[in-house]
Amino acid sequence: MLKNKITLITGASAGIGEACAHSFAREGSHLILAARRQDKITDLANALAKEYGIRTHTLVLDVRDRLAVNSAMENLPSTWSDIDILINNAGLSRGLDKVQDAYYLDWDEMIDTNIKGLLWVSRAVMPGMVQRDGGHVINIGSIAGRQVYSGGNVYCATKYAVRAITQGMRIDLLGSKVRCSSVDPGLVESEFSEVRFRGDKEKAAPVYQNFPPLQPVDIAETVLFCATRPAHVNIHEVLVMPQDQAAVYASNPRGVE
């Protein structure tokens, strides 16, 4: 079903985005891999091309930079310009500070990446989908877009925004054959917590020790499921949680097995 489709994945250099690249490549999709770390996406692109015989294209891109996003999309080689599937995955959290104590630039970074970055990429890619009357936008939301936790304030706000934007996109796309889904994970073991705590591994490691977390591949396979339904089916949203996490504050702390 994905053979010879073109999928653009933002944040493809790690975690969920990298896992999506593996899952989509396995199903025969050609891939545009975007992130800021060139070495990571280049290595991944080469490895997937070799393993699955797909075509790959890399974009060194900071999604916060609207002009760079527009330029990257406008200058795609013609063999890459008709994007079938956009996975808006690039995102991050910074800190767990209370609003009254937080560092302003952390807010800028989260809002600029998780909300505005998703919008810049979508705004650049969606017109082509609408014009071709086909495509699929899949946004990576979060349980944090449904429940707020202590210190989550602005990160949660960005994911609430992703949920609202996804719902809005679906309304805006009515009348076209372009689909729009969101996949909203609970705790996933990735670089996410290390980024949240700015490389402090001692703070990041315990996040994944209370119960077995989701792995990036669990989310990638869910994204793949959304992308491979028949054309008349739109999966609106999927909330995927670790079996031991019922809600942000309700987990079974049995320890990682």
Chain residues binding ligand NDP by CB under 6 A are 10-17, 35-37, 40, 61-64, 89-92, 113, 117, 140, 142, 185, 187-188, 190-192, 195, 216
Candidate list 104, 155, 208, 249, residue with the active-site label: 155
The partner in contact with residue 248, picked from ligand NDP, ligand 8X3, none with C-beta cut-offs of 5 to 8 angstroms by kind, is: ligand 8X3
Among ligand NDP, ligand 8X3, none, what binds residue 14 when CB lies within 5 to 8 Å by partner kind? Answer: ligand NDP
73, interface contact from ligand 8X3, ligand NDP, none, CB < 5-8 Å by kind: none
**In the complex, least distance from residue 144 CB atom to ligand 8X3, rounded to whole angstroms:** 4
Nearer to ligand 8X3, 157 or 187 (CB): 187
The minimum distance between CB 9 and ligand NDP, in angstroms, equals: 9
Give the contacts of 138 (CB within 8 A, at least 6 positions apart).
85, 86, 87, 88, 180, 181, 182, 183, 223, 226, 227
How many CB atoms lie under 10 A from the CB of residue 147?
Answer: 16
Cβ closer to ligand 8X3: 20 or 144?
144
Give the nearer residue to ligand 8X3 in terms of CB position, either 142 or 182.
142
3-state secondary structure of 27: coil
CA–CA distance, 64 with 172 (Å, rounded to integer): 23
Residue 155 among the catalytic residues: yes
Question: Taking CB within 5 to 8 Å according to partner kind, which of ligand NDP, ligand 8X3, none is near residue 113?
Answer: ligand NDP
Which residues make up the interface to ligand 8X3 (CB under 6 A)? Answer: 142-144, 152, 187, 248
**∠ CA(209), CA(251), CA(237), 5° rounding?**
105
Alpha-helical regions (H) of 65-191: 66-74, 104-110, 118-132, 153-172
Euclidean distance between CA atoms 62 and 90, whole angstroms? 9
Residue number with the smallest Cβ distance to ligand 8X3: 142
Q: In the complex, what is the shortest distance from the CB of residue 174 to ligand NDP, in angstroms, rounded to a whole number? A: 26
Based on CB atoms, which residue is closest to ligand NDP, 29 or 193? 193
3 state DSSP class of 200: coil
Q: How far is the CB of 183 from ligand NDP (least distance, A)?
A: 9
Between CA 39 and CA 71 the distance in angstroms is: 21
CB of 3 to ligand NDP, least distance (A): 25
* Length of the chain measured in residues: 257
User: Long-range contact list for 154-157, CB < 8 A, 24+ apart?
Assistant: 154/99, 154/102, 154/106, 154/107, 154/110, 154/111, 155/93, 155/94, 155/110, 155/114, 157/111
Q: What, of ligand NDP, ligand 8X3, none, does residue 63 touch, CB below 5 to 8 Å by kind?
A: ligand NDP
Residues in contact with 133: Cβ distance below 8 Å, sequence separation at least 6, in sequence order: 176, 177, 178
How do strand 245-247 and strand 250-251 relate by DSSP bridges?
antiparallel
Question: Which residue lies nearer to ligand 8X3 by CB, 25 or 143?
Answer: 143
Question: Which sequence positions are flagged as catalytic?
Answer: 155
